[in-house]
Amino acid sequence: MSMTTIRFKLFVSLLVSMFPILAVSAVGPDACTRCGPGYTISPQSLDFGIQTIGTQSPSKAISVRSVGSLPLKISKIAEVGAGFTQINNCPGTLPKNQFCTIHVIFAPTKVKMYSGKIKMITNAGTAIVPLTGTGVAQ
């Protein structure tokens, strides 16, 4: 291995550790073969539209895919904000090229606009998926 290769690898490691979001946006499904863990998440946001208070929306899915050369370690997935609930089938460690799903439900209790987020903390950085919905009277 040449000195140039070693310097390049150290530079990339330093960039990823300083800016973990680069690992997410720079990693395509097959673009990275030796860069460590990474993920794709889709969709980038969820809008539940109008929902009658006291009822719940159908579930909407967020797909998470592990990309990169190392498994994706998921330390936490949580919903932040009133009115939203999530349940997921994501394991603590998601092997390369494997998927898991986060299901989100919107259940407003008041007439108002709601906003929240799904927050996923991993060894490749933190993902935020914004959530919106509006509670309306019957």
pLDDT at 29: 46
Percentage of residues in the chain having pLDDT higher than 70: 75
Summarize the confidence of residues 110-136 as an average pLDDT: 98
- Whole-model pTM? 0.75
pLDDT at 68: 87
The partner residues of 46 in beta bridges, in order of sequence, read: 131
pLDDT digits (tens, 9 = 90+) for 99-119: 999 999 999 999 999 999 999
Tell me the backbone φ, ψ of residue 21, rounded to 5 degrees: -65, -25
On the question of pLDDT at 88 being above 80, the answer is: yes
pLDDT at 5: 44
Rounded to whole angstroms, the Cα distance separating 136 from 138 reads 7
Q: Enumerate residues 6+ apart whose C-beta is below 8 A from 23.
A: 16, 35, 36, 37, 38, 68, 124, 125
User: How many structural domains are present in the chain?
Assistant: 1
- CATH number for the domain including 18? 2.60.40.10
pLDDT at 3: 46
Domain that holds residue 77: 3-136
DSSP class of 124: T
**Checking DSSP bridges between strand 84-88 and strand 37-42, what pairing results, if any?**
unpaired
Binned at pLDDT 50, 70 and 90, residue 25 comes out as: very low
**Checking DSSP bridges between strand 99-106 and strand 125-136, what pairing results, if any?**
unpaired
pLDDT digits (tens, 9 = 90+) for 31-56: 555 579 999 999 999 999 999 999 99
Rounded to whole angstroms, the Cα distance separating 3 from 63 reads 40
